[in-house]
């Protein structure tokens, strides 16, 4: 089923599921008290818990996506485009219920508010309605531990990059089902999307709700990944507001540091476009040395094209010292 064929009746059920999830997140992290401009999640989702209102959202969203200029629709055009079979007065009743929340009324007609656009795009991505899978596809990278070929797969809303020989897990990437509707440039799209998300984490910002992240260094024994990944430590980042979190290797996190980006680029390696599983100091901890854990002090080596950047990092992920030297021949990327 394509997005354009997706029935509007899916939306009320979607919102019921989202409501329970959203309410749970509020209980965990929503600031106490409501301002006059806030509405409860129950009120907001109840507004589109109706097939006619869902179809209005879909119609305005599709028009906005196709529009190159003005994205509004007059009442008559909106009603004609919407796949509903109701009289004008009933259609207008449901439309007005959406105005001020998901829909904006202008002199030219009606258009989606930012909240409405986010809702429409989430539905287009299939996040709540679709279940897609992608059988493991070999990618151009051998495992660093057994030399078997790595494979990219998608299931249950998650991409995995894993060696199917020794089962070492190189990456987990949460993504909507729309990602696998076409296999065109799939690997580069996945890594580009992943880099974008990791960039926010590297800057200490939650990519979902934009709240600040808590960061700590963890011994691998404190995680659930000891059976599938060989690590000396993890950088654990978590959002106390929405519950989003990430476990990264130190090398992966520093792929976003300007010192590493600049050094690698000067040596001919663009870490902003190269998949991290193709970069040994990010994909493994072979170039990492833990000097102490109380307090944490770690050395990360970044060897590229005969030259190594060495970084000494503390538990705040601040660079205490750095140096550049010639690399051993077998350490080059």
**Each residue's pLDDT tens digit, 56-101:** 999 999 998 886 667 899 999 999 999 998 999 999 999 999 999 8
Percent of the chain with pLDDT over 90: 69
Residue 40: pLDDT band by 50, 70, 90 thresholds? Answer: low
Q: What pLDDT shows up at residue 107?
A: 93
Burial of 28 (0-12, 13-18, 19+ CB in 10 A): exposed
Alpha carbon distance 90, 165 (integer Å): 61
Average pLDDT over residues 213-217: 96
Q: Where are the domains of the chain?
A: 10-124, 134-212+225-233, 252-331
- For 33, the token pair is 């008290």
pLDDT at 240 over 80: yes
Axis crossing angle, helix 114-124 with helix 10-29, rounded to the nearest 10 = 120
129 close to 14: Cβ distance less than 8 angstroms: yes
- State the chain's mean pLDDT as an integer: 86
Q: What pLDDT shows up at residue 256?
A: 96
Alpha carbon distance 137, 187 (integer Å): 10
Q: What pLDDT shows up at residue 128?
A: 77
> DSSP for 40-79?
-HHHHHHTT-SHHHHHHHHHHHHHHHH-SS---B-HHHHH
CA-CA-CA-CA torsion sign (222, 228, 231, 235): negative
150 close to 140: Cβ distance less than 8 angstroms: no
Q: Which CATH architecture has domain 10-124?
A: Orthogonal Bundle (1.10)
Q: What pLDDT shows up at residue 14?
A: 43
Instruction: Give bridge partners of residue 288 from the DSSP assignment.
Output: 300
Distance of CA 156 to the CA centre of its chain: 15
Q: Is 99 helix (H, G, I), strand (E, B) or coil?
A: strand
Alpha carbon distance 271, 278 (integer Å): 10
Q: What pLDDT shows up at residue 242?
A: 94
φ, ψ of residue 303 in degrees (nearest 5): -90, 125
pTM for the model: 0.77
Alpha carbon distance 15, 45 (integer Å): 6
User: Which residues have C-beta within 8 Å of that of residue 90, sequence separation ≥ 6?
Assistant: 52
Which of 125-134, 138-147, 154-163, 193-202 is least confident?
125-134
CA angle 333, 136, 162 (to 5 degrees): 45
pLDDT at 289 over 70: yes
Query: Each residue of 141-171: pLDDT tens digit?
Result: 999 999 999 999 999 999 999 999 999 999 9
Give the alpha-carbon dihedral of 319, 324, 328, 332, to 10 degrees: 70
Q: Which of 287, 165, 191 is nearest to 231 (CA)?
A: 287
């Amino acid at each position: 089923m394509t997005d354009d064929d997706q029935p509007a009746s899916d939306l009320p059920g979607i919102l019921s599921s989202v409501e329970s999830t959203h309410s749970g997140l509020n209980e965990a992290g929503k600031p106490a008290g409501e301002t006059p401009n806030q509405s409860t999640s129950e009120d907001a989702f109840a507004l589109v818990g109706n097939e006619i209102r869902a179809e209005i959202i879909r119609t305005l969203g599709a028009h906005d996506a196709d529009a190159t200029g003005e994205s509004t629709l007059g009442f008559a055009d909106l009603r004609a485009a919407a796949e509903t079979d109701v009289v004008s007065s009933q259609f207008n009743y449901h439309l007005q219920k959406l105005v001020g929340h998901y829909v904006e009324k202008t002199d030219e007609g009606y258009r989606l508010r930012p909240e409405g656009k986010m809702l429409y795009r989430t539905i287009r991505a299939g996040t709540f309605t679709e279940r897609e899978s992608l059988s493991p596809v070999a990618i151009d990278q051998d495992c660093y531990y057994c030399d078997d070929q790595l494979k990219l797969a998608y299931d249950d809303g998650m991409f995995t990059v894993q060696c199917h020989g020794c089962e070492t897990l190189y990456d987990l990437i949460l993504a909507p089902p729309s990602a696998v509707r076409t296999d065109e440039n799939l690997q580069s799209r996945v890594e580009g999307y992943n880099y974008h998300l990791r960039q926010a984490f590297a800057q200490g910002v939650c990519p979902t709700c934009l709240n600040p992240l808590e960061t700590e260094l963890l011994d691998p024994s404190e995680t659930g990944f000891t059976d599938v990944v060989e690590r000396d430590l993890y950088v654990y980042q978590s959002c106390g507001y929405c519950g989003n979190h990430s476990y990264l290797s130190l090398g992966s996190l520093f792929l976003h540091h300007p010192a590493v980006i600049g050094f690698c680029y000067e040596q001919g390696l663009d870490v902003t476009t190269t998949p991290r599983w193709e970069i040994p100091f990010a994909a493994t901890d072979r170039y990492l040395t833990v000097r102490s854990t109380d307090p944490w002090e770690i050395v990360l080596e970044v060897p590229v094209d005969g030259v190594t950047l060495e970084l000494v990092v503390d538990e705040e992920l601040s660079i205490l010292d750095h140096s550049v030297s010639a690399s051993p021949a077998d350490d080059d990327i």
